[in-house]
Amino acid sequence: MHTFRICCNKGVHPLAYFPDQNAVAINLQQLLRSAAGLLLAGSLALPGLEAAAAAPAEIQKSLETAARASTPGFGGLSAERGQRFFSSTHGNDWSCTSCHTPTPLAPGKHAKTGREIAPLAPAANPQRFTDAAKVEKWFNRNCNDVLGRVCTAQEKGDVLAYLMSLAK
Ligand code: HEC
């Protein structure tokens, strides 16, 4: 209460509200904590934000749902099939392993530019498969490079099942 009264006197420097540095630190901590709380509450309350913060399992689930709807005789996603798909060529020069290596727990290297690519497996890189829009963008681009067409939901789901099966 006391600090509030001082705060509103004209001519007092804003930082003079806080008696000492510890108090400033505590207030910053409280501020950060409530900001984190708001963010969490916001993402739970607003469906529009869901896509921005998805877990690999959620992205897998939506690929599985799409595969079930579009694949005749769909019998579930397969990590084994995903591994085969990932390491094979599909009519062009490159396979997925050309850039992401046959061990996606390790960093990859772009087959054309030579630039390092962070590991693709979520166990080695927690940012992977957490942003549905990013996942879609790169699946589209890379499938076009490797297959000359977009991948089907089942192909993408299988690849993700394979990548999620890899443990550090
Ligand atoms: C010519 C090189 C190249 C090839 C071949 C390639 N990729 Fe990639 N891939 C990249 C680059 C570059 C990125 C984006 C940079 C990054 O995210 O580190 C990327 C990112 C991705 C992502 C984004 C994942 C995320 O959540 O961040 C997915 C999914 C992916 N690739 C899947 C594949 C699959 C499946 C294949 C085979 C069909 C494949 N890639 C083949 C270069 C390649």
Using the predicted structure, report yes or no on whether residue 33 has a pLDDT greater than 80: no
Pocket perturbation via mutation, ligand 1, pick of 131, 142, 163 by most ligand atoms within 8 A of CB: 142
CA dihedral 120, 126, 127, 132 (to 10 degrees): 80
Using the predicted structure, report yes or no on whether residue 34 has a pLDDT greater than 90: no
CA distance 123 to 103: 12
Q: Which of 144, 146, 127, 147 is closest to 59 using CA atoms? A: 127
Q: Which CATH number does 56-165 carry?
A: 1.10.760.10
pTM of the model: 0.76
Q: Provide the pLDDT for residue 168.
A: 85
DSSP assignment, residue 49? Answer: G
Q: Which of 167, 153, 168 is closest to 82 using CA atoms? A: 153
Residue with tokens 């309350």: 45
What is the 116 CA–ligand 1 centroid distance (Å)? Answer: 12
Pocket of ligand 1 contains residue 156 by CB under 6 Å: no
DSSP assignment, residue 150? Answer: P
CA distance 140 to 10: 59
**pLDDT tens column, 115-161:** 999 999 999 999 999 999 999 999 999 999 999 999 999 999 999 99
Domain segments of the chain: what residues?
A: 1-48, 56-165
Q: Work out the mean pLDDT of the chain and round it to a whole number.
A: 82
**pLDDT tens column, 76-102:** 999 999 999 999 999 999 999 999 999
Quote the tokens at residue 68: 């079930």
**pLDDT tens column, 48-73:** 444 456 899 999 999 999 999 999 99
CA distance 118 to 125: 7
